[in-house]
Amino acid sequence: MDDIVSHKFEQERGHVISSVEVYTNQHGVSTEEAVEALNEMVEEDWKGINEDCINSPNFISKDVLSMLICWAREGDESALQGLR
């Protein structure tokens, strides 16, 4: 998510290649199409994470899983703040 948000800024700085640029080059699509595809991947991964947590074995504490998911979501939310 962070790479998608910072793509334009990183490009202007001439910094390292971003996942958006890699996707664009590999699939021959526009930047907008690459961003959309990467956002869909992120969404699918979140669905998988949530599903795995619901179906997790009993030896993993639900409190620990909840804490880890909240921590990961905070990272996504911080990246999204750059869009607002």
pLDDT in tens, 2-60: 566 666 666 777 767 888 889 999 999 998 999 899 989 988 988 888 888 778 777 77
Residues 51-84 pLDDT 10s: 887 787 777 777 887 788 887 777 666 655 554 4
pTM value? 0.62
C-alpha 32/C-alpha 11 separation (Å) is: 15
Question: What dihedral do alpha carbons 29, 35, 37, 39 form, nearest 10°?
Answer: 180
For residue 64, the 8-state DSSP code is H
| Nearest-angstrom CA–CA distance, 77 and 81 | 6
Amino acid identity for residue 74 in this structure: E
